[in-house]
Amino acid sequence: MGRIAIIGGGISGLSLAYFLMERAPDLEVTVFESEKRPGGKIWTDRTEGFLCEWGVNGFLDNRPMTLALSEKLSLAPLRSNDASRKRFIFSGGELHRLPESPPAFLSSRLLSLSGKLRVLAEMIVPGNAKDEETLAAFARRRLGTEAYQKLIDPMASGIYAGDPETLSLRACFPKVYDLEKNYGGLIRGMLKLQKAKKKQGSKDRVGAGPGGVLTSFYNGMGELIRMLKERLGDQLRLGYRGTALERKGKGYIQHFSDGSSFEADVVVLASPAYAAAEILKAFDKKLSGIVSEIPYPSLSVACFGYRKEKIKADLAAFGYLIPSREKRKILGTLYDSSIFPNRAPEGRVLLRSMVGGARASDLAMEQESLLVDLIRKELADIIGITAEPDFVRIYRHEMAIPQYTVGHGERLRNIDAALGRHSGLFLTGNAYRGIGVNDCIENSAKLAEKIIEESL
């Protein structure tokens, strides 16, 4: 029977443990989490009747693994309300609905006529897929500067809290990269794929975006963590911060900050990249250095609750994102109580605003009173909410979302080469091959198979 230590009790570590136990019940799997609660960036805080998501607020329903895992855990996925299909961009001092169809794109005032014509001209822009290119450079080259500033830039903030001038297109949006590489362009590629789907009898729409419907659970994303925690039972140990790793024979000894240690045949570092780099520092300095190159900006999430009678704005939507060219203090605001039910008490609404990210990381760590004041000002300017909130919670992430900057693909290749020298040692988590819940769960399932086949 093999002994496996998983360092990190976020969704990657927990789901990996679940899949290992499911596929090989005789394995001795133990998950060590440094905090007093599992879940990493997934934590649902129910307070004063409001349901606040500390970090992750859902997953897309277009990939089967998360839905299948939810079913195994006896969880009922909850798809977002129809109203949340409406998404807005704040530009030029007003909110513009994000176009969802060609007619809507043509009638939208978000882009100027020249900006729209430049987007349509993408069809005749020569295909020139580069192995490595920033998201900003790609967007300007294929769609034009205006579309980049008003569409692509806020999308990068909304998904990664990132700076498109440094993010790698291929690492962050491989589907978009593949459209140009395989078909010579985005519009041409989507038209060809749509035609192929039509021939197959499918009515699904093809797009360059991730697709799918945002999905969670009635009591929030924390339900997924709660059920995984129940399944693991005593195999999940909380309050154990990994500090160092050493080799012992064909296995490993994992050391912890309280002075304890744990011997295992296989060790999986499912912690954030910066924590994994610290554990690896004395074990493999070169590998530690590569992993430490993955940056994490700071981000604060602010939940504001109001009585409905205080709000005149139409909140029947997902919310809005703000391009960096607008020089605002927040990245955007989500109308959480319009996206999912059970997010606010009867007669109340819940808004969730993001501050910081790659372009304003220091701002996220400002004192709470300053953050509250600046968010209130932004909400007043953008959607006309001047009332004082009845409920406020600020959640800080000093190291928030890993950034897949230019060179990320090369970093992954170097990490894989280094791990090839250490049989039985693995890295996983959202720092490497996808930041979303779906990515983490799918990667855990693949890694479970690999560990069973190669290491035990």
Instruction: Convert the pLDDT of each residue in 194-205 to its tens digit.
Output: 888 777 776 555
Do residue 413 and residue 276 come from a single domain?
yes
Do residue 121 and residue 137 come from a single domain?
yes
In a domain, 93, yes or no: no
Cβ atoms within 10 Å of 205's Cβ, excluding its own: 11
Give the domain CATH number at 265: 3.50.50.60
Give the domain CATH number at 347: 3.90.660.20
Angle at 300 (CA atoms; ends 362, 333), nearest 5 degrees: 120
In a domain, 105, yes or no: no
> Which residue in the block uniquely carries the two structure tokens 């704005």?
313
Do residue 130 and residue 265 come from a single domain?
no
Do residue 378 and residue 256 come from a single domain?
no
**Rounded CA separation 137/433 (Å):** 22
In a domain, 47, yes or no: no
Check residue 403 and report its DSSP letter: -
Q: Tell me, what's the pLDDT at 207?
A: 57
**Rounded CA separation 152/128 (Å):** 19
- In DSSP terms, 97 is beta-bridged to 88
Q: Which long-range contacts (CB under 8 A, 24 or more apart) does 169-172 make?
A: 169/133, 169/134, 169/135, 169/137, 169/138, 170/131, 170/132, 170/133, 170/409, 171/404, 171/408, 171/409, 172/135, 172/404
Residue 456 has pLDDT above 90, yes or no: no
Q: Tell me, what's the pLDDT at 199?
A: 75
Are 269 and 279 in contact, with CB atoms under 8 Å apart? yes
In a domain, 378, yes or no: yes
**Mean pLDDT of the region 216-245:** 98
Q: How many domains does the chain have?
A: 3
Instruction: Convert the pLDDT of each residue in 100-147 to its tens digit.
Output: 888 999 999 999 999 999 999 999 998 887 889 999 999 999 999 999
Do residue 315 and residue 249 come from a single domain?
no
- Structural domain of 23: 3-41+225-295+406-454
Are 13 and 42 in contact, with CB atoms under 8 Å apart? no
Region label for 69, one of left (φ > 0), alpha (ψ between -120 and 50) or beta (otherwise): alpha
In a domain, 104, yes or no: no
Contacts of 413 (CB under 8 A, 6+ apart): none
Do residue 151 and residue 9 come from a single domain?
no
In a domain, 327, yes or no: yes
Do residue 277 and residue 413 come from a single domain?
yes
Task: For residue 127, give Cα distances in angstroms to 121, 178, 192, 396.
Answer: 12, 11, 15, 42
Do residue 274 and residue 410 come from a single domain?
yes
Do residue 268 and residue 303 come from a single domain?
no
Q: Tell me, what's the pLDDT at 101?
A: 87
Q: Which long-range contacts (CB under 8 A, 24 or more apart) does 209-214 make?
A: 210/60, 210/62, 210/175, 211/60, 211/62, 212/60, 212/61, 212/62, 212/63, 213/60, 213/61, 213/62, 213/79, 213/80, 214/57, 214/58, 214/59, 214/60, 214/61, 214/79, 214/80, 214/84, 214/318, 214/339
Phi, psi for 199 (deg, rounded to 5): -65, -30
Do residue 314 and residue 383 come from a single domain?
yes
Q: Tell me, what's the pLDDT at 298?
A: 97
Q: Tell me, what's the pLDDT at 204?
A: 57
In a domain, 320, yes or no: yes
Q: Please state the pTM of the whole predicted model.
A: 0.94
Q: Three-class SS of residue 50?
A: strand
Instruction: Convert the pLDDT of each residue in 338-365 to its tens digit.
Output: 999 999 999 999 999 999 999 999 999 9
Give the domain CATH number at 192: 1.10.3110.10
Do residue 289 and residue 411 come from a single domain?
yes
Instruction: Convert the pLDDT of each residue in 399-434 to its tens digit.
Output: 999 999 999 999 999 999 999 999 999 999 999 999
Do residue 361 and residue 416 come from a single domain?
no
**Mean pLDDT of the region 29-49:** 97
In a domain, 209, yes or no: no
Amino acid letter, residue 63: R
Q: 150, 181, 199 — which closes off a domain?
A: 199
**Rounded CA separation 41/395 (Å):** 11
Would you call 103 exposed, middle or buried from its count of C-beta atoms within 10 A (0-12, 13-18, 19+)? exposed
DSSP annotation string for 210-264? --S-EEE-TT-THHHHHHHHHHHGGGEEES--EEEEEEETTEEEEEETTS-EEEE
**Rounded CA separation 320/338 (Å):** 13
Residue among 359, 354, 353 nearest 297 (CA):
359
Residue among 263, 269, 271 nearest 247 (CA):
263
